[in-house]
């Protein structure tokens, strides 16, 4: 599975999202930034991201996905250290 395809799926499924992916395509990490996360708890945020790629996990095309989620402001805060 190409990382670009996973990125496109996440960004299409999460309103206003920007996704950054790393890994080998079978097992990867996604950092997803979207203000839609501001009203959601961490578990709901991760479930929303997982829902965008669930069929890939079920089929075995994607084996594992580690997820980090941020609102736009939280992402800026992390980048500023």
For residue 75, what pLDDT is reported?
A: 97
Q: How distant is the alpha carbon of residue 2 from its chain centre? A: 14
For residue 26, what pLDDT is reported?
A: 82
Q: Which domain holds residue 31?
A: 3-72
If one compares 25 and 71, the residue with the highest pLDDT of the two is 71
Q: Render pLDDT for 3-62 as a digit per residue (tens, 0 to 9).
A: 999 999 999 999 999 999 999 878 899 999 999 999 999 999 999 999 999 999 999 999
Q: What domain count does the chain have?
A: 1
> Do strands 18-23 and 27-33 pair parallel, antiparallel, or not at all (unpaired)?
antiparallel
Is 77 a member of any domain?
no
Is 78 a member of any domain?
no
CB 75 within 8 A of CB 38: no
Is 11 a member of any domain?
yes
Is 80 a member of any domain?
no
CATH number of 23's domain: 3.30.300.90
For residue 70, what pLDDT is reported?
A: 98
For residue 1, what pLDDT is reported?
A: 75
* CA torsion, ordered 38, 44, 49, 51, to nearest 10 deg: -140
For residue 57, what pLDDT is reported?
A: 92
CB 12 within 8 A of CB 32: no
Is 10 a member of any domain?
yes
């Amino acid at each position: 599975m190409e990382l670009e395809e996973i990125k496109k799926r996440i960004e299409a499924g999460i309103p206003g999202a920007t996704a950054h992916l790393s890994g080998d395509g079978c097992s990867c990490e996604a950092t997803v930034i979207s203000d839609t996360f501001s009203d959601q708890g961490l578990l709901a945020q991760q479930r929303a991201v997982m829902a965008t790629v669930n069929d890939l996990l079920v089929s075995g095309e994607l084996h594992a996905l580690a997820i980090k989620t941020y609102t736009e402001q939280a992402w800026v805060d992390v980048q500023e250290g």
